């Protein structure tokens, strides 16, 4: 239902949403899952490679600590291109539909990832090696900027109103599957190959192999129907959105109060709430899934096999956490679940990171699984449906993508670099990670507290939820 009532055009006179079969919903779900799985497989492939081998392959010649900082900085470079790609592709998605855009984003993102696997190393071509890596990371980020947002928007607009959280949790499960697949490949490589062979050529295998998933995802998306909500938007004529001036004229002539309000009122509160919800989850993700693996491997001097193994175990637990949180969000409201999960995350930061800092492998597994599932996967399950729900129909894709990616470039792109430099300056202390995670988590908690409930609102409404 709509988040607020208004005179003029209301839910009863809104156009009926185009019907989609169970098969259509299944294809949309698989499409979203595959694209997000590929994006996060790319994410985790690079994260683990940066932590385990890239500092030696692409940034040779300096001391070990500085090489790690440079590897993490190159990881962050991908996030520079993401807001640009988000704005570019998402605006097209709001104008002509989601389907075409999602086809091109996965093609660009997947091709860049595959090409990383054939790059020359620093030893072979010197400074050209990290330059080429940066270029591909920029291309990867440009495509990825609108990928997960588009998948979330598509599933939100396909799903039944009272099951949006469960259906959209498939997007978050895609992140989990991608993380798990990448970690599994790395674990196998490190188990069956000599470390020297992994560094020499084995690291290329997962990047080149990602092309198989990309091709399958392209085939699924080629056969996908357009979002039913997009097709039934009142500002879409012959498959293309009206310009602002055209829409203003039509809305005035038809006394379409909802559209007129959406044109007059800037969704500032919706943008700020969505930004800080994303900022909290994205910051935790960058620290836990990227930097913490490097911290465990290099700073704590734990065997390289442990990093991928703990990510695998925690990701397997996530197959329960993610849909459960999605279900609870549908049942009790996403705002309430954000408050519960963020508060729990704040309470767990210090004890879980102390467990990791103990250097006892068993406790490292326990600490990592707890903080990863609560602070990263649990929040991601709600985020993927919450932000599309918060924004109005007319610019949902653009605002969702841009807000997500700007928050990500600040939190996830910069967070691991700040953590690496701060921990190095603090001679290996884990306290900087605790402080940064506390800041990120508190931002999501405050945003949820000040927001009105947005769960289950009418997605054909052009107005924002707040």
Quick: pLDDT tens for 301-331. 898 888 878 988 998 999 999 999 999 999 9
Average pLDDT over residues 368-388: 95
Of all residues in the chain, the percent with pLDDT exceeding 70 is 92
- pLDDT over 60 at 4, yes or no: no
Tell which wins on pLDDT, 116 or 414.
116
Q: Which residues of 220-251 are buried (b: 16+ CB within 10 A; e: fewer)?
A: bbeebbbbbbbbbbbbbeeeebbeeeebeeeb
Residue 231 binned pLDDT confidence (cut-offs 50, 70, 90): confident
Looking at the DSSP assignment, which residues form a beta bridge with residue 240? 237
Which residues in 191-336 belong to E strands, given as ranges? 236-237, 240-241
Task: Map out the domains of the chain as residue ranges.
Answer: 21-227+250-450
pLDDT in tens, 158-202: 988 889 999 988 888 887 788 778 878 888 888 888 878 888 888
- pLDDT over 60 at 350, yes or no: yes
- Whole-prediction pTM value? 0.83
**Predicted local distance difference test score (pLDDT) of residue 2:** 37
Average pLDDT over residues 423-451: 95
**Predicted local distance difference test score (pLDDT) of residue 9:** 35
- pLDDT over 70 at 273, yes or no: yes
CATH number of the structural domain 21-227+250-450: 1.20.1250.20
Q: Which residues of 348-367 are buried (b: 16+ CB within 10 A; e: fewer)?
A: bbeebbebbbeeeeeebbbb
**Predicted local distance difference test score (pLDDT) of residue 185:** 83
Cα 300 from Cα 452, distance rounded (Å): 43
Joined tokens for residue 327: 């279900």
- pLDDT over 80 at 48, yes or no: no
Average pLDDT over residues 17-22: 68
- pLDDT over 50 at 60, yes or no: yes
**Predicted local distance difference test score (pLDDT) of residue 75:** 67
**Predicted local distance difference test score (pLDDT) of residue 284:** 95
Cα 284 from Cα 282, distance rounded (Å): 5
**Predicted local distance difference test score (pLDDT) of residue 280:** 96
In whole angstroms, how far apart are CA 413 and each of 62, 220, 281, 393, 406? 23, 30, 13, 29, 10
- Please report which helix (H) or strand (E) contains residue 234, including its range: none
Tell which wins on pLDDT, 65 or 220.
220
In this structure, what are the phi and psi dihedrals at residue 236, rounded to the nearest 5 degrees? Answer: -105, 120
Joined tokens for residue 241: 């959105």
Average pLDDT over residues 31-56: 79
Residue 51 binned pLDDT confidence (cut-offs 50, 70, 90): low
**Predicted local distance difference test score (pLDDT) of residue 170:** 85
Average pLDDT over residues 210-230: 89
Alpha helices in 358-414 (DSSP H): 361-372, 379-390, 396-411
Cα 93 from Cα 78, distance rounded (Å): 22
Residue 72 binned pLDDT confidence (cut-offs 50, 70, 90): low
CB within 8 Å of 125: residues ≥ 6 apart: none
Average pLDDT, the chain: 87
In angstroms, what is the C-alpha Rg of the chain? Answer: 22
């Amino acid at each position: 239902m709509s988040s607020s009532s208004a005179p003029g055009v209301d839910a009863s006179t809104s156009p009926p949403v185009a019907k989609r079969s169970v098969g259509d919903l299944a294809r949309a779900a698989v499409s979203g899952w595959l694209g997000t799985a590929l994006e996060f497989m790319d994410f985790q492939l690079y994260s683990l490679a940066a932590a385990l081998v890239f500092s030696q392959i692409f940034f040779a010649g300096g001391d070990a600590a500085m090489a790690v900082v440079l590897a993490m900085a190159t990881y962050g470079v991908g996030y520079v291109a993401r807001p640009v790609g988000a704005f570019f592709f998402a605006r097209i998605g709001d104008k002509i539909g989601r389907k075409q855009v999602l086809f091109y984003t996965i093609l660009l993102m997947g091709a860049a990832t595959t090409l990383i696997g054939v790059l020359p190393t620093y030893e072979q071509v010197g400074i050209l090696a990290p330059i080429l890596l940066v270029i591909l990371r920029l291309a990867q980020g440009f495509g990825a900027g609108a990928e997960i947002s588009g998948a979330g928007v598509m599933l939100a607009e396909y799903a039944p109103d009272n099951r949006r959280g469960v259906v959209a949790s498939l997007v978050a499960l895609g992140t989990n599957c991608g993380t798990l697949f990448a970690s599994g490949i790395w674990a196998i490589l490190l188990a069956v190959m000599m470390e020297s062979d992994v560094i020499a050529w084995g690291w290329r295998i997962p990047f080149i192999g990602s092309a198989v998933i990309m091709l399958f995802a392209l085939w699924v998306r080629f056969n996908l129907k357009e979002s039913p909500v997009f097709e039934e938007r009142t500002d879409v004529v012959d498959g293309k959105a009206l310009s602002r001036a055209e829409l203003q004229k039509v809305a005035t002539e038809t006394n379409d109060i909802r559209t007129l309000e959406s044109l007059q009122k800037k969704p500032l509160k919706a943008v700020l709430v969505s930004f800080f919800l994303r900022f909290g989850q994205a910051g935790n993700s960058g620290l836990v899934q990227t930097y913490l693996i490097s911290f465990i491997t290099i700073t704590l001097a734990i065997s390289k096999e442990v990093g991928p193994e703990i990510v695998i175990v925690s990701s397997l637990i996530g197959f329960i956490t993610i849909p459960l949180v999605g279900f609870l969000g549908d049942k009790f409201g996403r705002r309430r679940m954000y408050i519960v999960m963020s508060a729990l995350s704040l309470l767990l930061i210090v004890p879980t990171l102390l467990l990791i800092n103990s250097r006892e492998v068993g406790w490292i597994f326990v600490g990592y699984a707890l903080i990863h599932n609560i602070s990263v996967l649990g929040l991601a399950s709600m985020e993927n449906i919450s932000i599309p729900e918060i924004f109005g129909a007319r610019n949902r894709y653009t605002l969702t993508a841009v807000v997500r990616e700007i928050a990500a470039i600040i939190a996830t792109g910069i967070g691991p670099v700040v953590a690496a430099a701060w921990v190095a300056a603090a001679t290996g202390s884990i306290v900087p990670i605790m402080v940064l995670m506390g800041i990120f988590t508190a931002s999501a908690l405050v945003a949820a507290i000040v927001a009105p409930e947005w769960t289950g609102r009418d997605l054909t409404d052009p107005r924002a939820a707040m």
